[in-house]
Structure 1
């Protein structure tokens, strides 16, 4: 089934709670909140961006930020993030969803646009696509693409707590047996680099990238080259291990 003029939207999950770096998305670089960099770079894609946050009072600050910057938002369950995504996508009538997380301030919207165009060209709503199952991009450029039909299937069929907390395991584990997995892979393996935001060391690197090297203006390939050319930068957070699902 080919997509006919699909409504595409990016949903970024955001919350203030973080075990290793609380309030991380509201930290600043050059006087601007990291959440703002995240959103500005996502808008390079040309697709609408929606923040999916929780109903917890601690996340009121995220809603206030969205209202100040005219960013659409949805508030849903803290633990059942799958339901939050499904109800958000349903409210905004999305046909194709790009899932990202707000702790990626240097994410590349043009990279996402290229991937979505390839996804639409495939023309099958049972396809789940991402650049993070086969990891060749640095953490911090992660995205997943899937149809509303697949999201609805996951929402109605997923039963395991991990499937509900992490949104997409039902899809990429091909739980139903009917899901086709597609991988977006970089030409060169840059998976050793880490530009996501989860620890003080991550924040130190992102600060250095933005304040010294203007990384907020660079595309993914340029940031990867920057890290490769300056190995001392990636050493800042090279020892950090990603939290396991």
Structure 2
């Protein structure tokens, strides 16, 4: 039986919106929505944070809710993932980021089921290489084997910071790919939190529409029918790798 776990990376020193994941919305820190929706998968969830004192509040919050937390280098996020996977003896990893409060656990559970059924440790499955879901629903599923290979061979600072380029750019030449897509394409919608505008949209969604109770398709339908919500952060450009 393969041991599958979700690892969510987090830090308090975001350049555009510092401390974003612990900012309160509707009486709860944003991170609590992320955690609750991922725990709905039934899979173990781990938080991978930096070893800097600035992330002590994250460690304290994780401890307060019984969430397993590992700490490692700030810029070498790949090392953080490798350390977390090794500490918890994971065979298969789901990589997510903690600035996505509405990431849908059901979507991830279905993807993991597809991945495990394939029985291929050289497989990388995601919805990020061919984007059709709103930003903020991103996930990647890959094996410990591929993670260890990247950890051993990825050398550039960008590869280390962004975790998976060595894998999804197929530097080894032996990676196979599968993609999770939806139609119609809604990749232009933005449900991640990296700016004040993103936070305002998330506040509206959570306080006025109880968005944390909605699955992926209901959230997309909500945005389809409320273009004024989409407009709040439609002008925000995602930071480039």
Normalising by structure 2, report the TM-score: 0.99
Q: What residue number does 2:217 align with?
A: 221
Normalising by structure 1, report the TM-score: 0.97
CA-CA distance at 1:32 after TM superposition: 0.5
Q: Deviations over 1:39-74 (max 9, x none)?
A: 000011110100000000010000000110000010
Q: What residue number does 1:192 align with?
A: 188
* 1:236 is the counterpart of 2:232: yes
CA-CA distance at 1:181 after TM superposition: 1.5
- Counterpart-to-counterpart distance in 2, 1:139 and 1:46: 23
- Give structure 1 regions of 4+ aligned residues with deviation exceeding 2 angstroms: none
CA-CA distance at 1:187 after TM superposition: 2.5
Aligned pair partner of 2:142 in 124, 136, 146: 146
> How many positions carry a matched residue from both structures?
241
Q: Give unpaired runs (5+ residues) of structure 2.
A: none
- Counterpart-to-counterpart distance in 1, 2:19 and 2:213: 24
* 1:166 is the counterpart of 2:193: no
* 1:10 is the counterpart of 2:6: yes
RMSD after superposition: 0.6
Q: What residue number does 2:28 align with?
A: 32
Q: What residue number does 1:120 align with?
A: 116
- Counterpart-to-counterpart distance in 1, 2:124 and 2:53: 33
Q: What residue number does 2:68 align with?
A: 72
Q: What residue number does 1:102 align with?
A: 98
Q: Deviations over 1:78-102 (max 9, x none)?
A: 0110011001100000000000000
- Counterpart-to-counterpart distance in 2, 1:235 and 1:28: 22
- Name the SS for the 2:40 alignment partner: helix
